Amino acid sequence: MLPAIDVLNGAVVRLRQGREDDVTVYGDDPPARLRTWADEGAALVHVVDLSGAIEGTWNRSLWEALGATGIRFQAGGGIRSLDAAVETIAAGAVRIVLGSAVVWDPALLASIVETVGSDPVVAAVDVRDGMAVGAGWTDGGRPIDQVLDQLAAAGVVRALVTGIAGDGMLTGPALDLLGHCVDRLPGVGIIASGGVGTLDDLRMLRSLPLDGVIVGRALYEGAFTLREGIGALAGPEI
């Protein structure tokens, strides 16, 4: 299980369905939060620079500050060029999460995979009503299968799939969507994101061969602890 850290203007926050007007602040020290998750048992932490994702800017200082902790994290937000991808890894990220601006640019995506290798690359696929939507989640999107096939062709080995309707809402994971992605891309590890609100949600996800599960608001609001969540995912398959 990957606990999430979303950073907006230097603060640790969570958004509901990606909306900037529905923000809850949980602190102002991202490196300290990274250390807390590591102390509680996280082997890898998912970090998103929301400011970078929204504005398209790359935040060197954030990634260097997190990299200085020596804790393993994957970084997303504002990584929209080959240079930004290379430098984020150099700053200390073990993986980079590439959003729609890159995922929808096959040439750039392939170039990044070729340069840094396939293992550090995670392609983010944000889905609403069967369509993979673009930056900001405001466009009509493209058919999900078209995007998934494109990722496989580019050599991507991990995809982070978010069901937008459940993101930050604690209403349960998008099991049908995740199952479809697993079936469509048997050679790609699927990381689930969005909707997890209870330990039972995590137990349901054990039925899918996932590469990981990202949890945010449920942890911050005390629905369960990180150790409890890790334990729920580690139980026997249901």
- The helix-helix angle for 60-67 and 30-39 (nearest 10°) equals 30
CB 87 within 8 A of CB 65: no
Amino acid at 237: E
Strand partners, 76: 48, 97
**Residue of 49, 105, 126, 149 marked active site:** 126
Report d(CA 5, CA 188) in Å as an integer: 24
Burial 88-112 (b: 16+ CB within 10 A, else e): bbebbbebbbbbbbbbbbeebbebb
Give the active site residue among 6, 49, 167, 201: 6
Residue 194, phi then psi, degrees to nearest 5:
100, 125
Is 167 an annotated catalytic residue? no
List the helix and strand counts (H, then E) for the chain: 11, 12
- Taken as a whole, the chain contains a residue count of 238
- For residue 122, the SS3 value is strand
Active site residue 126: yes
Helix (H) or strand (E) holding 230: helix 226-234
DSSP 3-state helix, strand, coil percentages of the chain (rounded to 5)? 40, 25, 35
Active site residues: 6, 126
